[in-house]
């Protein structure tokens, strides 16, 4: 009888530990946010008393690496990190160009016409993903497709 109880306890303990580990893993899963307003200050720490590192423009995508109250610790496509107020972010998907120049094409492939060129750091609204291509809306070039390997974001 004692052996049976110990066996049951071990199973419950193992199941509990596994559930906690899986729960922690999913809670720590990295998510993305973007700048909701015209500008957003990225700070050294979580709170307005911390110095501003730089300002980010509308749509700029950020990867969430930690949360503390109403603040998010984020990382950008260059690997720079800081803190932003959660209320000033959105879950609207965006991408940013991570190479010197990226072609915006009329369709998802290199055989499609080039509509224009985008420069390093330019932000686009993400509309759709198809294989290795992303459909985006660029502020001045309009809608088009860009190779996923050339951009960073959702």
pLDDT tens, position by position, 37-58: 999 999 999 999 999 999 999 9
β-pairing, 101-105 with 94-97? unpaired
The secondary structure of 122-145 as a DSSP string is -EEEEEEEETTEEEEEETTTEEEE
DSSP 8-class letter at 6 = H
DSSP 8-class letter at 30 = -
pLDDT band at residue 131, thresholds of 50, 70 and 90? very high
Report the CATH number of the 31-91 domain.
Answer: 2.30.30.40
Where exactly does CATH 2.30.30.40 map onto the chain?
A: 31-91, 95-153
> How far apart, in whole angstroms, are the C-alpha atoms of residue 122 and residue 120?
6
Identify the bridge partners of residue 83 per DSSP, sorted by sequence position.
43, 73
- Looking at residue 72, what is its pLDDT? 98
- Looking at residue 10, what is its pLDDT? 47
Report the topology of domain 95-153: SH3 type barrels. (2.30.30)
Quick check: helix, strand or coil at residue 98? Answer: coil
Which DSSP helix (H) or strand (E) runs through 42? strand 39-43
Strand order in the sheet with 39-43: 52-57, 39-43, 81-85, 71-75, 61-68, 31-35, 89-90
């Amino acid at each position: 009888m004692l052996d049976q109880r110990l066996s049951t306890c071990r199973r419950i303990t193992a199941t509990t530990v596994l559930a906690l580990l899986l729960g922690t893993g999913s809670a720590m899963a990295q998510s993305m946010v973007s700048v909701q307003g015209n500008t957003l200050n990225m700070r050294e720490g979580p709170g307005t008393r911390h110095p501003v590192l730089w300002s980010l423009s509308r749509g700029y995508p950020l990867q969430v690496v930690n949360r503390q109250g109403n603040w998010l610790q984020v990382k950008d496509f260059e690997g720079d990190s800081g803190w932003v107020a959660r209320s000033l972010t959105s879950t609207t998907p965006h991408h940013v160009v991570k190479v010197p120049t990226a072609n915006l094409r009329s369709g998802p492939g290199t055989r499609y016409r080039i509509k224009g060129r985008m420069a390093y750091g330019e932000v686009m609204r993400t509309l759709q993903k198809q294989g290795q291509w992303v459909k985006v809306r660029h502020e001045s070039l309009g809608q088009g497709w860009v190779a996923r390997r050339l951009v960073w974001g959702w």
